[in-house]
Amino acid sequence: EVQIVESGGGLVQAGGSLTLSCAASGSTFDDYTIGWFRQAPGKEREGVSSIHIGRDDTWYANSVKGRFTISSDRAKNTVYLQMNSLTPEDTAVYYCAAARSASYVGPDEKEYSYWGQGAQVAVPS
């Protein structure tokens, strides 16, 4: 069974950086897309970024383009989300999820079958 574990959340000052990690296990992941989602207090969960492991295609939400970078280490079955220039609006629980797909990259939660437990990111104002 596929398992997803996030790590790397924490408290960071505005303007700072943080890297989240998503470790996947239980399968080979060349035909998977790994996505990052986030849910801020009182808001719906939204897609942040995703990467197709085999194709290396990526997708970013407009709100994070130019500030966040997603990457993968296929040997470690791990996906990273490098977050720079963080603002209080980035405060949320960040979730990692996996979708088995030939090519899909995007924010549609219905595509993702496996989810991690979430990691809190707090950027105080």
Q: Residue 102 above 90 pLDDT?
A: no
- The number of residues in the chain equals 125
Interval 34-83: pLDDT, tens? 999 999 999 999 999 999 999 999 999 999 999 999 999 999 999 999 99
Question: pLDDT at position 75, please?
Answer: 93
pLDDT at 57: 96
Read off the tokens for 65: 């383009």
Which strands make up the sheet holding 3-7, listed edge to edge? 3-7, 18-25, 78-83, 68-73
User: What span, in angstroms and rounded, lies between the C-alpha atoms of 121 and 27?
Assistant: 28
